[in-house]
Chain A
């Protein structure tokens, strides 16, 4: 009961503060949220989830919401940092276990997370990525504290093996009382609904986006005496690098003017190197190694065809980037890829060497006769499809819907856990929820909420950022921008 009262008080205070906000913040929805993005994956780590969180946060800040990001400490990067436009990032000192994901005990992260949620007056907790233990922890703690939660799933899982059965069970528990779930494609939605046994009505599909200004075509970089196929992906099994290793010799023997440009690094690099060695293709297959995000465009514009050989993919950002640079895209028909681009911009193949080769050959033939659309027209077609502003608008609607929902009190939460997650796992996690609640009461007794200082807002309606406020926020403010890609 106590929890709900507090949540109510928070809502009241947030509605009170609205009139102070400048009028131009009232485009679209009128309600301003205090959002806490939680994920193990954030800068300086690089990847799809990281840039998703960053770009979404920036667009939400632009719309007048308050956003803070919580992640774990990366090396010496601990504590509180500010990024562009006052995006506040908490790097909490939690132990990293495996693959940048933190260890979870369900409890040990509660004190720090509670501190963040209370001092930032968070109204919506938005967790990202089902690989992130911290995200699941935050969903659990947020419910204990009576906050509304949103979860974004970025990946697909199977159902066949033991490990996926276990992770799916954990996801079921974790999402059982999450208010809303966001998936990046319809396939991903189907997958998540099945994995977590969810009501599909509380799952929204909001695709990822790319920044179209970063990926513009420039045909002057293309060599006209050859046809270049560009591949940009991590060189791992899941990206189908073995298939690529089969395609390269087959097509190179057939077309003497064909060149491959491969960007990315990973354990499967050895396969490509062996192929190159065996068929003496050193001058025609170039392995560029790991690419920085800013260098990707420079590689893409050199090619005619973009090839993606992934074996599984929730939403493939790479093909959108490729098409945005004006390349003709050839890809495997797996996961959410068929939903991403219209038929005229993409050639879909089965994930076999033969089918991919056939698809590539038709595109090469069309390139030779010049029947492919020019890069500029492809770019203009793609540039409006996926924008971060659009993503932020649609995510905002989710927040609006979630913030009106009631948070289950502890007794109903326990019933829900037990009815939804099965008698064994449900009971175990109901017990955990009770322990978490008791731990929260202990913490509230040790350090009451009123003793915690309310944080000075850098973003949102009460933003102090860049207004020449009387209080300097932080020593690192001046150095915020270079901080982003530093270290």
Chain B
């Protein structure tokens, strides 16, 4: 219906078409009709875009220079598909990390994985990751002072001893809450973690995202059979949700090729791991990963050419200069 109406030659429709299509050449084609009755004096005195001069034109006069300062799609970014896929791989990787964590928890709950083994694996991978992190951190990093190994060891000890001490408490923390509620809460919190995760600058992960993830892991860990299980699960959570993103960020900065490979590995690992416990879940995860890393970038690249952003003198000016130094130098 509206298509039929759209083809009717109403004046404003022409205009809409006009400014949608562009500027410059089209103006002369549209203008003569617009200028019709009041364009006559225009040949004698050129119209000027000023208000302080009383010009011999009616107030609703439309000059051929109307909208000449209109600019479209200024500073637009052209995306290449595989570059976007690479970036999206990070999102898929995070999704997979959560799946891996859940898989580990499922193993623990069914007694297929002993807490000692998990702790040992965690310790080994932490040491490995720490070493990698240290080698990747440039020694001459300006600005913030480097943390010493002693400080790192200190905070790790404090954290581990506190978690170990409190794990019996954490174990009984949600005893009075129904299991369904705990699961629902964990699911919501993990979702919140994924949504609020700062994918652009993941090091260190944002406080909301990290807190949501740790809350979820406390909830899940409290449903495990023993206090040592809880402790192992929480240490593992810390490894997956706090330390792993830091390491990944380093990798992304200094070893982009390995970073991509790692992302793929984590994605595959997540799907395979989940498949061993719940094949349906694995299919869903694979679908989600496919959507996020392959389909969404395709959509972004395809829809990009429909982008039609208008700029002109009416835009609010942006302050580009760094004015902070005036106050805080």
Contact = CB atoms under 8 A, between A and B. Distances in A.
A419 B321 contact: no
A335 B59 contact: no
Given A315-B51, A419-B6, A423-B2, A202 B60 contact: yes
B301 to A, nearest CB: 21
Contacts of A160: 309, 311, 315
Interface stretch (B7-15, B87-95, B254-262): B7-15
B28 to A, nearest CB: 15
Contact of A339 (B1, B15, B51, B321): B51
Nearest to B326: A246
Interface string B41-62: 0000000011111000011101
A204 B60 contact: yes
Interface string A222-248: 000000000000000010101101100
A232 B58 CA distance: 33
Contacts of A36: none
Interface string A401-426: 00000000000000100111011001
Nearest to A157: B314
Contact of B323 (A246, A339, A340, A398): A246
Contacts of B10: 419
A179 B326 CA distance: 51
A190 interface: yes
A203 B34 CA distance: 13
Interface in A108-132: none
Overall SS of chain B's interface: loop
Contacts of B169: none
A215 to B, nearest CB: 16
A189 B51 CA distance: 12
Contacts of B326: 245-246, 249, 275, 278
Interface in A153-209: 156-160, 180, 185-188, 190-191, 193-194, 197-207
Contacts of B1: 418
Given A200-B15, A311-B319, A187 B59 contact: no
A190 B314 contact: yes
A207 B49 CA distance: 12
A96 to B, nearest CB: 26
B327 A242 contact: no
A242 B327 CA distance: 11
Nearest to B20: A197
A385 B15 contact: no
Contacts of A191: 312, 314
Interface in A367-422: 385-386, 394, 397-398, 415, 418-420, 422
A274 B328 CA distance: 10
A201 B70 contact: no
B67 interface: yes
A354 B314 contact: no
Interface string B303-329: 000000111111111111101001100
A99 to B, nearest CB: 18
A353 interface: yes
Given A190-B70, A200-B66, A185 B51 contact: yes
Contacts of A426: 2
Nearest to B36: A201
B19 interface: yes
A359 interface: no
Contacts of B317: 240, 311-312, 332, 334, 351
Nearest to A279: B326
B151 interface: no
B40 interface: no
A28 B42 CA distance: 25
A418 B52 contact: no
B314 A312 contact: yes
Nearest to A341: B52
A281 to B, nearest CB: 12
Contacts of B60: 180, 200-205
B74 to A, nearest CB: 10
B5 interface: yes
Interface in A422-445: 422-423, 426
B314 A274 contact: no
A205 B59 contact: yes
Given A190-B67, A191-B312, A194-B67, A205 B15 contact: no
B16 interface: yes
B247 to A, nearest CB: 35
A199 B19 contact: no
A418 B5 contact: yes
B298 to A, nearest CB: 23
Contacts of B309: 159-160
Contacts of B316: 156, 158, 238, 311-312, 334
B49 to A, nearest CB: 5
A342 interface: yes
Interface of A: 156-160, 180, 185-188, 190-191, 193-194, 197-207, 238, 240, 242-243, 245-246, 249, 271, 274-275, 278, 311-312, 314-315, 332, 334-336, 338-342, 351-354, 385-386, 394, 397-398, 415, 418-420, 422-423, 426
22 contacts: A156-B316, A157-B314, A160-B311, A187-B313, A190-B69, A191-B314, A202-B60, A204-B60, A238-B316, A246-B323, A246-B326, A311-B318, A312-B315, A332-B317, A338-B50, A351-B317, A352-B319, A386-B51, A418-B1, A419-B2, A419-B8, A422-B2
Given A249-B326, A278-B326, 8 more contacts: A156-B314, A157-B314, A158-B315, A191-B314, A203-B60, A274-B327, A351-B317, A386-B51
